Amino acid sequence: MNRTPSTQALTVDALVHYGPLANTRALIDDHFDQLVPHVSLVSELDQIRSCAPHTAVVLHQSLTHGVWAVESAMRLAWERAAACVVTPALPGIGESTAHLAQRLRTPVFVVDGDSAQCALDLAAAITNPDALRAKLLARCAVLFSERSGARAILGVINTEVPGVSAALVSGDGQVLAGRSTVARSGAGSRQVRVEVPGPDGQPWASLVAEVAGAGPLLDTVRTILRLACVPLAAAVTQQRLELVHNSARAGAALDVLLTDGSRRVAYSRDAPDDVASELGWQVDGRHIGVFLRVATSEAGPDVETLTPGVVSAWQREFGDRPLVPRSGGWASWWPAESRAAGDVSGELGLGLVRMRSPVGLVAGIGEPAEQLAGLRESLAQAELASAAAQGSTAGHVELFAELGERLVLACLPVAELARSAEVALADLLAASDHRTLVTTLAAVLDHGGSTGQAAAQLGVHRNTVLGRLERIRAHGIDVDRPDRRLALHLAAYALATRAP
């Protein structure tokens, strides 16, 4: 005898959600993942001994003389590896019977009506499982149409589809909504994955459903996920539109706040306090300005294109702290009643590393300042500091207070300088080890020509630096000519800053 039920069979869970068992009372809520390929209506205990494994055993009224008979039937059903037991309602069926069901790991259902009719209904559902699955699909389609957010749509799948855990997973494996355990597939589980299109029609995430053990048919789950893709794509598009609208509105509002009183009329008739209050911004008191930039200075997507993804990642990491798009990056400000810029730097740097931003970000931090006038200055300082941070690894944070003379370098057009340096130093850049040579050249010039200090900065022996300088000179570069040292220093700085 083949003891393995067909995967076409329905589970106990499916029969509870959408089948005849929906009108019964379950004594326990566990072990509903069993497949049910057979149903048997028994009027004598000995008939249970001949039941096939995975059978739904339905007790006839004539058998249930008392609770003892029901519990005896449960033990016999357990011996035959029954999927579940259905019994007529009897006085005395309660906690003790439920404890026995839990020990036997056998679901028991109590039906108030005719158990024979319940058996007929079960047989009809088991014989035609497609009808029950069609009912499940219709139910999910209706609920999807009533939901507007990703979490709500995933909630429908996780609540309504028996034996399934689902999540919306980004391309880098981050769970955006749904159950985080789906990202860690367990032994014996099966997964169904469907791509979710973004506003541009390209896949931006995946709907992943994990079907544990003997769950519903994978085709049914796949169809449900495809049904969910349409409202999910609509929800993503709506969220993106809202982010774009809110970011544009926030940018215009920040223009008002950062414009001094004599020129503010050209932007808005609203008072700064009214503008800030409308957006929920706190601009009174002591604040620290923060400015984010893309880590690389190479040409890439502009701020407007990147804003929805950056703002969304920022909100997940930093909550409701403002982030407003500007011409070269994104501005923010943090309360600083009892905090120094260094305290903000540590928290911000860790957050930028953790953020699931579409691009790597660096940041600059201004000095703490009072009231709106001080906030304007602090944000300007943060913007300059962020320019100095650009070219570093993602998560790097520069403090304006520590820039010193490097503030001048932060204002340089690094990309333009680098393009000029590529022409002027073409012979050097053709070398296979040009990155090492450029880094060494920059270090030597940073330390006024001291090879010892440059070696300490680079973590190599002084003789290594001397050897590299000889190779640099071999490419026609004279590091000792005073009239060329400034231009050479700027060229090395620009190339080293732009290098990935």
Which residues on adjacent β-strands are paired with residue 192? Answer: 209
* CB of 99 closer than 8 Å to CB of 81: no
pTM metric for this prediction? 0.54
Q: What is the CATH number of domain 282-410?
A: 3.30.70.270
Query: Which amino acid, one-letter code, is at 232?
Result: L
CA-CA distance, 422 to 429, in Å (whole number)? 7
CATH 3.40.50.300, domain 130-237, yes or no: no
Q: What is the CATH number of domain 10-127?
A: 3.40.1390.20
Domain with CATH 1.10.10 in the chain: 414-498
Domain with CATH 3.30.70.270 in the chain: 282-410
CA-CA distance, 34 to 55, in Å (whole number)? 10
Domain with CATH 3.40.1390.20 in the chain: 10-127
CA-CA distance, 463 to 406, in Å (whole number)? 29
pLDDT of residue 282: 76
pLDDT of residue 264: 45
415-433 b/e (C-beta count within 10 Å ≥ 16 → b): eebbeebeeebeebbeeee
223 Cβ contact list (under 8 Å, min separation 6) = 137
Find, among 96, 18, 13, 106, the residue nearest to 59 by Cα. 106
Tokens 């699931």 identify what position? Answer: 356
Identify the DSSP state of 278: H
285 Cβ contact list (under 8 Å, min separation 6) = 335, 337, 370, 371
pLDDT means over runs of 10, the chain (500 residues): 55 83 87 88 92 93 85 93 92 89 93 90 86 83 86 87 80 75 61 78 80 62 87 79 79 76 47 66 84 79 83 85 89 83 87 86 90 86 87 87 71 73 85 88 86 91 92 87 83 72
Q: Which two tokens stand for residue 151?
A: 């979490």
Domain with CATH 3.30.450.40 in the chain: 130-237
pLDDT of residue 273: 60
Number of H helices, E strands in the chain: 19, 17
CATH 1.10.260, domain 414-498, yes or no: no
